[in-house]
Amino acid sequence: MGVHEHSGWREVKNLLCLRLDSLGDVLMTTPAIHALRQGLPEAKITLLTSPSGLSAVEYNPDLDGIWAYQAPWIKWPNVVEDPNRELQLIEELRNHHFDAAVIFTVYSQSPLPAALMCYLGDIPKRLAYCHENPYLLLTDWVKDKEPKEFVMHEVQRQLNLVSSIGFGTQDVGLVFEVQEEFKKSARQKLSRLKLDLKKPWVVIHPGCTAPSRTYPWEKYAQVADGLIDRFGWQVVFTGKKDEDGLVNKIQSQMQNKSFSLSGKLNIQELAEVLRLTQLYIGNNTGPSHLAAAMKTPTVVLYALINNQHTPWGNDSKILNHEVPCKNCLKSLCPLGHNDCLQKVDPEEVINAAEALAND
């Protein structure tokens, strides 16, 4: 479906964008939001996102407002059933008098729950991908041909959606700006580690929320030792506070000294650390997309549960082991072996890191 100038999207003054997923997904939507901003320079643009996605866009220059909402039709831990929350959001939508909404989803999600809320919130123009005919729930929609006919990168998917209503951009990089105060605090925390910033150092982020996307911790220990033994690189581990135990376990397995900032960085500080490092190594998770936004060379242990979320716009090496059960879209390996990551030898990771460092 194509939408043209007469459809009225160029006259939008108060736009709501919806991306209700996690940090990495929201980051991968920022180029499309940037295209909307370039096409609607005078409009007010608000993003409705998840609590975990909020940090990805807190200082995004293309947005005038950000709302956090934990949608009950998306998988979250500890979601409390409370229909009043949805009724309250619908009332908020009505009170803010949005004149258009763009709903961003992955192909495995239905846009219809969000579309229904926008419909009930009296938003007159509503755009999304959809597999089936949405009838009145969407005024403008693009037939979703993924994954039946093809699969494209998540960033390109969202750029194509806004292109269908006439908005494009040449600047398709991920948008994430680090504030000066956090640049300063990140450097201070690096300094306290007694890291020699004049010598090469790499960041390893071993954690991930999905077990199926997590490279084994003992292999991360082998990778870190190999980088130190072979190249003399310094290794800095990062992670969320609840990943401290994982990092400690890896460090205790290692034969060499390493450093840890696990649990010590907010998202802005982590972005600055990733901007400063020579190389990032991690799973297919939010910080890998943050590294891409910082244009940092990246080695990703990329589980074959899907193939559209690889790093965007930076030098990267994607590592996995080919398996017949790929594209399962599961957080837990259905067959229990995790072969698409388990069978990646640490030597492959070390070699990929060396290749990126020499590019």
Name residue 280's beta-bridge partners. 203, 298
What angle is formed at CA 269 by the lines to CA 263 and CA 272, rounded to 5 degrees?
130
Looking at the chain, the whole-number percentage of residues with pLDDT higher than 70 is 98
Q: What is the mean pLDDT of residues 111-122?
A: 98
Q: Give yes or no for a contact between 236 and 203, defined as CB atoms under 8 angstroms apart.
A: yes
Does 169 reside within a domain? no
DSSP helix/strand/coil, 68: strand
**R_g of the chain, CA atoms, integer Å:** 21
Nearest C-alpha neighbor of 40 from the set 17, 21, 59: 17
Q: Is 136 in the same domain as 208?
A: no
- Lowest mean pLDDT, pick from 196-200, 307-311, 343-347, 355-359: 307-311
Q: Is 156 in the same domain as 187?
A: no
Does 204 reside within a domain? yes
- Domain C-terminal end among 163, 195, 214: 163
Sheet holding 100-103, edge to edge: 65-68, 44-49, 14-19, 100-103, 125-130, 140-143
- Domain C-terminal end among 163, 195, 212: 163
Does 10 reside within a domain? yes
Alpha carbon of residue 63 to chain centroid = 17
Q: Is 203 in the same domain as 336?
A: yes
Q: Is 353 in the same domain as 218?
A: yes
Residue 174 exposure: Cα atoms within 13 Å on the Cβ side: 31
* 305 pLDDT tier (thresholds 50, 70, 90): low
Please give the residue range of the domain that contains residue 140. Answer: 5-163
Tell me, what's the pLDDT at 7?
A: 77
Q: Answer whether residue 325 shows pLDDT above 90.
A: no
324: preceding bond cis by omega (within 30 degrees): no
- Lowest mean pLDDT, pick from 48-52, 110-114, 332-336: 332-336
Q: What is the mean pLDDT of residues 140-156?
A: 95
Tell me, what's the pLDDT at 274?
A: 98
Q: Is 335 in the same domain as 222?
A: yes
DSSP helix/strand/coil, 185: helix
Tell me, what's the pLDDT at 339?
A: 81
Q: Is 75 in the same domain as 27?
A: yes
Nearest C-alpha neighbor of 176 from the set 57, 286, 64, 258: 57
Q: Answer whether residue 222 shows pLDDT above 80.
A: yes
Mean pLDDT of the chain: 93
Q: Is 130 in the same domain as 255?
A: no
Per-residue pLDDT tens digits for 266-299: 999 999 999 999 999 999 999 999 999 999 999 9
Does 172 reside within a domain? no
Q: Is 201 in the same domain as 332?
A: yes
* Total number of domains in the chain: 2
Does 174 reside within a domain? no
Tell me, what's the pLDDT at 50?
A: 95
Name residue 318's beta-bridge partners. 300
Looking at the chain, the whole-number percentage of residues with pLDDT higher than 90 is 82
Q: Answer whether residue 6 shows pLDDT above 50.
A: no
Tell me, what's the pLDDT at 304?
A: 66
Q: Write down the residue that tokens 């992955």 correspond to.
A: 106
- Domain C-terminal end among 163, 197, 230: 163
Q: Give yes or no for a contact between 275 and 294, defined as CB atoms under 8 angstroms apart.
A: yes
Backbone angles phi and psi of 180, in degrees to 5:
-55, -40
Q: Is 333 in the same domain as 210?
A: yes
Sheet holding 298-301, edge to edge: 259-260, 234-237, 201-205, 279-283, 298-301, 316-319
Q: Is 32 in the same domain as 77?
A: yes
Q: What is the mean pLDDT of residues 300-310?
A: 81
Tell me, what's the pLDDT at 2?
A: 40
Per-residue pLDDT tens digits for 22-80: 999 999 999 999 999 999 999 999 999 999 999 999 999 999 999 999 999 988 777 78
Does 66 reside within a domain? yes
Does 350 reside within a domain? yes
| CATH code of 281's domain | 3.40.50.2000
Q: Answer whether residue 4 shows pLDDT above 70.
A: no
* 110 pLDDT tier (thresholds 50, 70, 90): very high
Q: What is the mean pLDDT of residues 88-117?
A: 97
User: Is the pTM for the entire model greater than 0.85?
Assistant: yes
Q: What is the mean pLDDT of residues 200-225?
A: 93
